[in-house]
Structure 1
Amino acid sequence: MQAHTVHYWELIQKAGQPHSTIRVRNLQTSLVVGRDAWGREGKAQPVLISASVSLREPFQSASNEDAVTGSTVHYGILSKKILDSCKLFSETSEETTPKTLSDLAREIESGLTREQVASSGLTPAPALLPSSIVKLLEIKIMLPKASLLGEGVSLTDLSLYAHSEEGSGSAEKTYVLTLHNLKIPTLIGVNPNERLSKQLVVATIKIDGIYPPASHFYHVLEEIVVKTIEESSFQTLEALAMHVGERIMKYFVCPICRSGIDPRITISLSKPTAVTFADAPVVEITLETNPGLNPTMKPIRRNAINTPQPLFPLQGRLDEWISSNDVIIESPIGLGP
């Protein structure tokens, strides 16, 4: 069954609150997948894989009998199946196309939800997670060493399954690309002392509903975010967040995310040193890239065909590159480049 793509929050709302969930967190392995912190392909790196399985029915018999029964999922077998899928993924050739995070997510999902092909003449092994048992499956793949200034890059694959006694095709799906906790020095703040020196801003960026192939360009997204923040001098986190969102829409979403649904961009910014007796003040905004929902996107979409994509790696300042390439950011909120 072909999956229908929606946004993460809509999928969670449609699934409803889960009553029975089995999770495996941060299963560790090493794979040649995605890009390293310098944007290079074909490099082995550590991978952390988490899976969350929401069951269609409560695991009543398993709790009553205090045993692993058909009403639940054995987390040991779940872990083994994930690692088996990683092994199959590592054995595939990279000669024609690079191995991406979305490819790995699909390999893991297939290994968990579809019948396993058997040798000739033998009956295929049943799926570990058939749609008759599983309602919602979330697979998160984290690359903790794939970011120069952050705590890692992750891709989350969330699937909501239609009930079926025979097949296991997902009815609805979404992908979320996340840059975790980028630590970037910048001039930010309204107080006189804050205008004298740079301080760290911690940024987490989520692209909800990203077209799977576009998630392979997270190194470009990080460069845009880092250079935009470090070159800025805003007084408020709110203004900085909107400025970052506008740059992402113009230089990442429009040139790279050309297919699929219009993604949503969530930007979370914090200043760890701003409040002495708190961990940090945090500002978070979510921006639509659908022009019908966000007027900011209308001029960006109109100019998209003439908008060049920043080089990677970009030597020098991003704002100077924008100026030299005669790219004008049209901003209805008046923030400017």
Structure 2
Amino acid sequence: MDKVILKNLRFDLVVGLDAWRRWNKPQPVFISLEVQPISNFEAAAAKDDVSLTMDYGKLYKKISAGLALVPQFATVQMLIAQISELVTDYLVLDIDILLPKAILQSRAGVLYRSQFDRSSSDLPAFSLSMTIKEIACDCIIGVNPHERIYKQSLFFDISVPFIGPVTSNADNSEDSEKLHNMAQEVIARVEGSSYLTVEALATAVAQIVTMNYDHTVAKIRVEKPSAIATIEAAAVEITRSRSFFDNKDFWKVKLP
């Protein structure tokens, strides 16, 4: 399980829509790699010889040069595919892409986590998930009398998996538009709601993500910073599939 790690390579790249829903606008992109090479580091350690390992300096230069040749990426999936083609001789490759300013209402950006796994003798495995981090919303939430009077701030993380392979020439540019639409709808619906429990609100958000945006499953984390004065935040995290919402409706606007 030896690995070479490059953490937070910073680039300014054109990737999908920017925070203002504009095409062809560069935005900051942070890329982290974890590479499990075909050969472990025993020989390099025994002889103290960099030629017997995966040289992270050369890997960094190869990725930087390769990304500089591509003027724009219609989607993050295309960026991930391009990076995977620049890394060779690995068993497992993990790529994290953070777009810290991709969504206006997100305090921590959008994180894509992908893995290319060649360690099995079967066909290579691929997985990809996306998390919109810390979407800020204000709403009526809570059972205490004072919580029924004033809105309070909540922060949502929305995580969903993607199905299917990625290629460097696949153009799913509509995914960027859907991402913005989903975040905007969640904010609008949450801020117009009034729930007693965070659990019910989180489930309602999962219903929007799965039923309105065709995701098979959604993980929703809701932080409530004002819940208890002496701690940073209380939080609830749920995972719900699309099938869970058959014949159920958790989204109900409730007046205080």
For the aligned pair, the TM-score class normalised by the smaller chain equals 0.7 to 0.9
Superposed CA offset, 1:73-120 (max 9, x none): 222222222212211222x6xxxxx621111111111111xxxxxxxx
1:137 aligns with 2:103: no
Structure 1: any 5+ residue segments left out of the alignment?
A: 1-18, 93-97, 113-128, 258-262, 300-329
Q: Is the 8 A contact 1:89 1:107 kept in 2?
A: no
How far apart are residue 63 of structure 1 and its match? 2.4
Report the equivalent of 1:37.
Answer: 19
Structure 2: any 5+ residue segments left out of the alignment?
A: 167-171
Q: Is the 8 A contact 1:143 1:152 kept in 2?
A: yes
Rounded Cα–Cα distance in structure 1 between residues aligned with 2:70 and 2:198: 41
- In structure 2, give the amino acid aligned to 1:160: D
- In structure 2, give the amino acid aligned to 1:148: L
Alignment of 1:35-114 (within 5 A): 35-56=17-38, 58-70=40-52, 72-90=53-71, 99-112=74-87
How far apart are residue 228 of structure 1 and its match? 2.3
1:189 to 142, 157, 166: 142
3-state DSSP of counterpart to 1:224: helix
Normalising by the residue count of structure 2, what TM-score does the alignment of the two structures yield?
0.86
In the superposition, relative to structure 1, how do residues 195 and 101 fare at CA in structure 2: closer, same or farther (>3 Å)?
Answer: same
Q: Is the 8 A contact 1:48 1:142 kept in 2?
A: yes
How far apart are residue 239 of structure 1 and its match? 0.6
1:232 to 193, 208, 211: 193
How far apart are residue 252 of structure 1 and its match? 1.1
Q: Is the 8 A contact 1:101 1:215 kept in 2?
A: no
How far apart are residue 58 of structure 1 and its match? 3.4
Structure showing the higher strand proportion among its residues: 2
- In structure 1, give the amino acid aligned to 2:113: T
1:286 aligns with 2:236: no
- In structure 2, give the amino acid aligned to 1:61: A
Alignment of 1:147-162 (within 5 A): 147-150=103-106, 151-162=108-119
Q: Is the 8 A contact 1:32 1:44 kept in 2?
A: yes
Report the equivalent of 1:11.
Answer: none
- In structure 1, give the amino acid aligned to 2:181: V
- In structure 1, give the amino acid aligned to 2:220: I
3-state DSSP of counterpart to 1:228: helix
Q: Percent same amino acid among aligned pairs? A: 31
- Number of equivalences: 244
Rounded Cα–Cα distance in structure 2 between residues aligned with 1:32 and 1:157: 19
Rounded Cα–Cα distance in structure 1 between residues aligned with 2:181 and 2:207: 15
Q: Is the 8 A contact 2:10 2:29 kept in 1?
A: yes
> What is the Cα-based RMSD across aligned positions, in Å?
2.3
Q: Point out 4+ residue stretches in structure 1 off by more than 4 angstroms.
A: none
Superposed CA offset, 1:297-331 (max 9, x none): x45xxxxxxxxxxxxxxxxxxxxxxxxxxxxxx52
3-state DSSP of counterpart to 1:89: coil
- In structure 2, give the amino acid aligned to 1:82: I
Report the equivalent of 2:152.
Answer: 199
How far apart are residue 210 of structure 1 and its match? 4.6
- In structure 2, give the amino acid aligned to 1:247: I
Q: Is the 8 A contact 1:38 1:219 kept in 2?
A: no
How far apart are residue 335 of structure 1 and its match? 4.8
How far apart are residue 28 of structure 1 and its match? 0.7
In the superposition, relative to structure 1, how do residues 285 and 56 fare at CA in structure 2: closer, same or farther (>3 Å)?
Answer: farther
Alignment of 1:241-256 (within 5 A): 241-253=202-214
Normalising by the residue count of structure 1, what TM-score does the alignment of the two structures yield?
0.66
3-state DSSP of counterpart to 2:22: coil
